Amino acid sequence: MFSTTANMLTFVRILLIPVLVLSFYMGTPQWRFAAAAIFIVGCITDYLDGYVARTYSQISRLGQFLDPMADKLLVATTLFLMAGFDRISRYSFIPAIIILSREILISGLREHLSNFRVTIAVSQLAKWKTGIQMLAICLLLVGDTAEIVTPARYVGEVMLWCAAVLTIITGFDYVKSSIRHF
C-alpha cells in the first residue's frame, strides 16, 4: 500500500498533523516554533513526494488521491487551529475561508473529472499560491513570538491575503478549464 517512497512521504505528512495539533496546544513560544517547524517538515514532504514520484516513476493512484488530501488536511487543520485560538485576526478569517472553499471546490472538480479520466494540471501560478500560503501559515504559527521589526503575525496575515487573491484566480482558471466536461 505505502510501498513507494513517495507514498510514505505523503503518509508522514498525515502523521505530522496530530503532532502539530499537540504542539499548538502547548502554547508556549518554544512550542509555537516547534509547530512552525513541524509545518515546514510537512511542506517539505509535500515537495519531495511529488518530486520523488515524478523522478522515480512512483506515480500511483493512491498517491494521486492521498497527496492532495494530505495537503488539504494539513492546511485546513492549521487554519482552523489559528482561527480557534485567535492567532489570526477576524479579518483574516476571510482569506482562510476563501482558501478552504477553493480547496473543497477543486477537490470536487477533480473527483468529477476523474469519472471522465480528465486531469487538471497544476499551473505555475497555483504553485506560487501554495508557496505563499505555506510561508504565510509558518509565519502565523510563530506569530507575535518573533518580533524582528514587525511581528511575524502581521506579515503572515498580509501573505495570507495575497494567497487568497491567487486562490481566487487559480480557482477560476480550474473551473474555466473544466466547465466543458459538465
pLDDT tens, residue by residue, 12-45: 999 999 999 999 899 888 998 999 999 999 999 9
149 confidence band (pLDDT: 50, 70, 90): low
CATH of the domain at 33: 1.20.120.1760
Helix 61-84 and helix 5-26: axis angle, to 10°?
10
| Structural domain span for residue 111 | 5-181
Alpha carbons 96 and 82: distance in angstroms, whole number: 10
Of 106-115, 125-134, 135-144, the least confident: 106-115
Residue 101, classified by CB atoms within 10 Å of its CB into exposed (0-12), middle (13-18) or buried (19+), is middle
What pLDDT digit, counting tens, does each position of 69-78 carry? 999 999 999 9
Global confidence as pTM: 0.89
Domain count, the chain: 1
Instruction: Mention every residue, 6+ apart, whose C-beta is less than 8 A from residue 156.
Output: 88, 135, 136, 137, 138, 139, 140, 142, 143
